[in-house]
Amino acid sequence: KAGVTQTPRYLIKTRGQQVTLSCSPISGHRSVSWYQQTPGQGLQFLFEYFSETQRNKGNFPGRFSGRQFSNSRSEMNVSTLELGDSALYLCASSPGTHASTDTQYFGPGTRLTVL
């Protein structure tokens, strides 16, 4: 099976712009979670989508949003970019049926730089 893929791998934006990142989960996986990784804050959970619905949400401002399509592919959007949004954004997929048996598989990440 193909792994989790994320596009683009690298992105450079300026403050105030918006950005959309994409994640394609492993075939058959219905849950997609997004994480932000920075040197200062480490890995932080953004949100999780399951069957096109946001199931869980982390403690991030409303500028961060996401969605999931019927084929389980997911996008996350960050509006009005700030310098502090520079980070590696990781996507993880899992079957989504039950956390007791699920394992999250991570993609390679999208490196976002905000100038």
> What's the min distance (Å) between Cβ of 76 and another protein?
15
Is 114:19 a contact under the CB 8 Å cutoff? no
Is the CB of 31 or the CB of 78 nearer to another protein? 31
> What's the min distance (Å) between Cβ of 96 and another protein?
8
The Cα 33–Cα 56 span in angstroms is 9
The Cα 75–Cα 67 span in angstroms is 6
Q: Which residues bind another protein (CB under 8 A)?
A: 31, 33, 35, 42-45, 48, 50, 55-56, 58, 88, 90, 92, 94, 96, 98-100, 102-109
Is the CB of 42 or the CB of 62 nearer to another protein? 42
Helix, strand, coil percentages, rounded to 5, for the chain: 5, 50, 45
> What's the min distance (Å) between Cβ of 99 and another protein?
6
